[in-house]
Amino acid sequence: MKSKNTASPIEGGVLPLADSPSFESKTYAKVSRRLIPFLMLCYLGAYLDRVNVGFAKLQMLNDLRFSETVYGMGAGIFFLGYFLFDVPSNLVLHCVGARKWLARIMLTWAVISASFVFV
């Protein structure tokens, strides 16, 4: 009977198959332990961003006597920044690596957003 792993993975061969159901359940458990807390942290950061924009609008309209049009213009200019910094950010992403760069963006944005919520 032939072995499932006939070539070395380094040489471009086929990796051994894990037919064990316990291997699959262990893999799902490990992925869940590592990803679920990180994804919940990402979700919390995104939620804080949405809440901050809503609270900022309520306070700005009353305190600064902005109209809806002025607020819309400001929001448009804010998102123009995303457009202008997109290419330089992608160049840095290419040099640094996606894992580190995206984690840095997410954590920085969450920390800045959270600091404005608790002020």
Calpha distance 7→14 (Å, rounded)? 6
Calpha distance 43→98 (Å, rounded)? 19
Whether pLDDT at 36 is above 80: yes
Q: Which residue has the higher pLDDT, 115 or 14?
A: 115
Q: Percentage of the chain with pLDDT > 90?
A: 7
Whether pLDDT at 5 is above 60: no
Inter-helix orientation angle 68-96/21-63, to 10°? 140
Cα 12 to chain center, whole Å? 33
Mean pLDDT (whole number) for 59-71: 83
Calpha distance 46→44 (Å, rounded)? 5
Whether pLDDT at 80 is above 60: yes
pLDDT band at 95 (very low <50, low <70, confident <90, very high): very high
Q: Which residue has the higher pLDDT, 91 or 6?
A: 91
The pLDDT value recorded for residue 15 is 53
Mean pLDDT (whole number) for 61-88: 82
Convert the pLDDT of each residue in 97-114 to its tens digit. Answer: 989 998 998 898 888 878
Return the half-sphere exposure (C-beta side, CA atoms, 13 A cut-off) of residue 94.
Answer: 6
Whether pLDDT at 7 is above 60: no
